[in-house]
Every structure is written in structure tokens, then in C-alpha cells.
Structure 1
């Protein structure tokens, strides 16, 4: 009898537990949100339509001089002339500096005296050799001495020429490193000359945009310092190798202006419009959902959002070209896709 009572108590306890769990499950299910299949979701839409796609890209760079050189002498000594100042314009061949060359000229004079002596000896030996009064070797030795002296004179004259330092091209003296009276050695910098008659705008172009440029292409350049002026340049170089960030330097050559003088180091920007295609079916970029490999869009049909797979072609900053899956006039959802499933009723706001 006692066992029966214990068994009945256990059964009663299990039954009570089961009833409690079932009751809790019904309460939880009652609290679970179930979307109303008849409730319409508000979305924004746009039409798939034919567009003349183009892409505008702006790139910022800085101007570099056409040519720039540090002038370094090929002769050493004291500077006795330095007729230039920083900021001064110099012509090609204009005197930049003159190094004291008096000692070299004295040596040339001494060698010229030696040359006269050798030439006099040559005349005497020529006459003596004709009469067999002296060996021919004396004549040959004198001829060699003349050639050696001539070579020494040429060497000294070259050193004298190197003492006169001129501008290799026309430009502006942007830096002067020495003053008159300074003693310089061979190869030490004296001044820097910069040619800005033509400038090079160097911009870093990302890999995805590098095909928009070609050598010889005409580019319009704008600057912050002259906001109302436009400069015309031509692409002169497209780098064959990019940096670690996959940017490629593009060099655009522009002729400087007397009215709006550009200077090296200034910023310049270009707006390159690249016409990708003519009339082509396109939709806003915001309409695309899914991945780039499997792009999809929601199309509004009979008041419902229908998920469709599409093919995309070229892109711009605002639009995707659609190569398959849509027709002109299709209404695509551009905002509110997060609340949609295939077949969700929608209303355009």
C-alpha cells in the first residue's frame, strides 16, 4: 500500500511538471512576434532606365618643376664673383660664379714659354739632322716634348674654363649656398636653379582608375590659389609600377602662365571624365543587395517585392550598368531592403 502511494505521488508530480511546461510554452509562443503577411512595408524606389554613363574622378597632386639642378663646380678655389641672388631669374649660360684662376693662368703662361723653347729647338735639330750633325733621336725627343707641353696647356685651359660657372638652363635661383669670398672644393654645391616655365603635376591614381589615362591626353587642371583659372596640361608619363597601396603616379605637363604664375610645390587637382558607354540600362547603386559575385535587387511587381538576380557591368559613383535580369521601366527598391523578403507587400513612399 505504501509503494502505491509513493508511485501515485511521483506520477502526480510528473503530471504537474508537464502541465506547467506546456503552459509556459504557450505563454512564450504568445509573446513571439509574427509578422503580418498583409502589412505593407514602406520603401523607396527608382526606375531602371537608359543612361549615358560617365565617371568623374578628382585627383589631387602637387606641381614639380620641369628641371631643377644644384650647381656644383668642377674646380676648387676662392669665389671672386657671385653676381646672383635668390629669386633672381637667370638665362641659360649666364654667369653664376667665378673661381679665382690666376694660378692656372700663370701655369699656362709658363707652359707657353716652354713651348717656345721646344719649337726653337725643333728648328735647330731639323737643320742639324739634315747635315748629319746630330742624331735623329734629338729631333724625335723634341717633337714629343712639344706634344706633351701642348697637352698640359689644354688641360690647364680646361681647368680655367671650369672656373667660370654658368647656368645650364634658364630658370630662377631658388637657393644660394655660398657667398663671394668663400673657398669651395670640387663638387660642393654653390646654388640651385629651378626651371618653372613648364611644370609637372604629379598625382597618385588608384589601380581601378588608371585606365582612364593615356599618354598625350589633354587634362584640365584647377588650383586653390587661382580658383577662377583653368590650366591645360597633357599626360606625359604613366608609371609602369605602383606603390604598396596600388597607386600609380601620373605626370601631367602644363605650361606656366605669366598672368597666373604657378610655383613648384603648389597643389593642383584634375577632374577626369571618362565616358564608359553610351545609352545603357542602369539603376542606382543603392538598389543592389547581395554580394558582388551574386548581385540581386528587389523589383516591385503587383505591390510585392520580388527578389531577382541581375548581372552588372561598368559602374560609376552613382549607378550600376545592368546587363541582364531587368528591363527598362522596372521599379527597383533603393531603400528599405532590410525589412523585405521575397514576396513582401510594399508601398512606395
Structure 2
């Protein structure tokens, strides 16, 4: 009998618990917001239509020197002249440094004395050979000795010429690594010369825009240093290989002979505008949602929002070209997409 009462009490407890849970669920559902299917969401729209689009792209880069070289002597020795300073302008052929060549000149003198002796011997042997007083081999040996000595003299003369170091082109001395009296070895840098008579603006251009450039193309270059000035540039190189981000280097050469002097390392930018051929179907940029690989647009049809996948082409600062998924005259949502779902009733403005 006791067991029966326990079973009845357990069944009653379970029933009470189930009733309480069902009652709580109903109260929670009553508190959950349920959108009114008849209530319209206010959105802003625009019409997809044919437009003549122009692509305006701006690319930022930095100026590099036209030419820059470290002067490295082809001879070694002590510097006895160094008539340049950092920041000084030098012209082509200007004396940069002079190395001590005294020992080399002494060697030249000694070889010239030796050469003179061989030449005197040659005259004597020529007369003796005519009278069969000496073998002809002595004459031949003397002739070879003369040629060998002359070659040695030329070699040392070349070494002496290498002790005079001149500027290979005009520019500015941007670095001086030695001082007068320093002893330098062959190939050690002594002076750096930078030519900024023209500069190279190097910009990285994305893959999708690289076809907008061609070698020889004229472009206008602007800088932060001279915001009111415009510099005439010309495309001189387009990279044949891009980096990991699919950007290609484009080099624009700018003449730097005007009153607004640019310097290597400064920032510069170019704005390249290209017109798309004919009229293209386009929508405002604000209409596109989703990712660049899977763009989507809400279109208003019969008072409701319809989510459509589209394909985009060229872009400008204001519009996207639509190559597939829309037709001219479609009403696209440009504001308020966050409150929409496929089929939501809308109040278009």
C-alpha cells in the first residue's frame, strides 16, 4: 500500500513539473519579439542604369635617385687629395680623389733607363749582324727585351692613371667614407655620388589596374611637399613580375630641374583616369553587400526585397559596373540592408 502512495506522489510531481515547464515556455514565447509581417521596412533605393564611367585610381610611391654609385678606386694607396665634401655638387669628370703615385713614377723612370739601354744595344747589334760579327739571335733577344720593357711601362702608366679618381657623372656627394691621408685598398668605397637631376617614382599597381599603364605614357605627379605643384612624369618601366600580393612595380621618371626641387626618398602619387568604353550598367557602391568574390544586391520587386547575386566589373569612386545579375531599371537598395531579409516588405524612398 505504501508503494502505491509513493508511485502516485511521484506521478503527481512529474505532472506538476511538466505543467510548470510548458507554462514557462508559453510566457517566454509571449515575451519574444515577433515582427509584424505587414510592417514595412524603410530603405533608400537607386535605379540601376547605363552610365559612362571613368576609373580614377591613385597610387602612392616614393622617389628614387636616377643614378647612384659608390666610387671605388682601381688602385690602392694613400689619399693625398680629396677636394670634395658631403652635399657638394660635382660635374662629370670632376676630381674626386688623388692617390700617391710617387713609387710608380720611380718605376717608370727605371724602366725608361732600361729601355734606353736596350735601344742602344739594338743599334750596335744591327751593325754587327750586318758584318757577321755577332749572331742574329742577340739582335732578336734585344728586340724582345725592348717590347717587354715597353709593355711594363704601359702597365705602370695605367696604374698611375688609376690613382686619379674622377666622377663618372654629375651629381651630389651624399656620403664620404674617407678623409685625406687615409690609406685605401683596391675596391674599397670612398665616396657616394647621387644623381637627382631626374628622379624615378616607383609605385606598386594591383593586377586589375596594371593594364592602364604603358611605357612612354605621360602622367601628372603630385607630392605632399609641394601640394600646389604638378610634375610631368613619363612611364619608363612596367614590372614583368608581381609580388605575393599581385602588385607590379611601375616606374615613372620625373625631371627634377625646376624650382621645386625634389629629393630621393620623398613620397609622390599619380592619379590615372581611364574611361570605360561605351555605357555600362552600374549601381552605387553602397548597394553592394557580401564579399568581393560573392557580391549581392537587394532589389525591390512588388514592394518586397529580393536578394540577388551579381557579378561586378570595373569600379570607380561612386559606382560598380554590373556585368551580370541585374537589368537596367532595377530598383536597388542602397541603405537599410541590415534590416532586410529575402522577401521583407519595404517602403522605398
Q: Paired residue for 2:348?
A: 348
What TM-score comes out, normalization by structure 2 length?
0.90
Report matched runs for 1:292-307 at 5 Å.
292=292, 294-307=294-307
Alpha-carbon deviations, 1:286-319, whole Å to 9, x = none? 2223455554322223432233343433333432
Report matched runs for 1:20-35 at 5 Å.
20-35=20-35
Q: Paired residue for 1:248?
A: 248
1:114–1:18 Cα change, 3 Å: closer
Contact 1:56 1:273 in 2 (8 A): yes
Contact 1:215 1:235 in 2 (8 A): yes
Asked whether 1:211 is paired with 2:211, we answer yes
Q: Paired residue for 1:338?
A: 338
Asked whether 1:118 is paired with 2:121, we answer no
Asked whether 1:104 is paired with 2:104, we answer yes
| C-alpha deviation, 1:326, in angstroms | 2.6
The SS at the match of 2:242 is: coil
Moved more, 57-66 or 209-218: 209-218
Contact 2:198 2:257 in 1 (8 A): no
Contact 1:54 1:277 in 2 (8 A): no
Q: Paired residue for 2:43?
A: 43
In 1: Cα distance, 2:13 partner to 2:86 partner? 104
| C-alpha deviation, 1:18, in angstroms | 5.3
| C-alpha deviation, 1:37, in angstroms | 1.3
Q: Paired residue for 1:282?
A: 282
In 2: Cα distance, 1:320 partner to 1:226 partner? 33
Q: Paired residue for 2:320?
A: 320
Contact 1:56 1:272 in 2 (8 A): yes
In 2: Cα distance, 1:94 partner to 1:269 partner? 35
Asked whether 1:145 is paired with 2:151, we answer no
In 2: Cα distance, 1:2 partner to 1:86 partner? 111
In 2: Cα distance, 1:189 partner to 1:230 partner? 37
1:77–1:296 Cα change, 3 Å: closer
1:7–1:128 Cα change, 3 Å: closer
Alignment gaps of 5+ in structure 2:
none
In 2: Cα distance, 1:178 partner to 1:31 partner? 85
Q: Paired residue for 1:257?
A: 257
The SS at the match of 2:52 is: strand
Large movers: runs of 4+ above 4 Å? 1-22, 290-294
| C-alpha deviation, 1:9, in angstroms | 6.4
Q: Paired residue for 1:267?
A: 267
| C-alpha deviation, 1:166, in angstroms | 0.9
The SS at the match of 2:209 is: helix
Number of equivalences: 349
Moved more, 86-95 or 298-307: 298-307
What TM-score comes out, normalization by structure 1 length?
0.90
Contact 1:48 1:330 in 2 (8 A): yes
In 2: Cα distance, 1:302 partner to 1:174 partner? 72
1:229–1:102 Cα change, 3 Å: same
Q: Paired residue for 2:237?
A: 237
| C-alpha deviation, 1:4, in angstroms | 8.3
Aligned-residue Cα RMSD (Å) equals 2.5
In 2: Cα distance, 1:185 partner to 1:67 partner? 25
The SS at the match of 1:344 is: coil
Alignment gaps of 5+ in structure 1:
none
1:5–1:197 Cα change, 3 Å: closer
In 2: Cα distance, 1:245 partner to 1:117 partner? 73
Asked whether 1:136 is paired with 2:133, we answer no
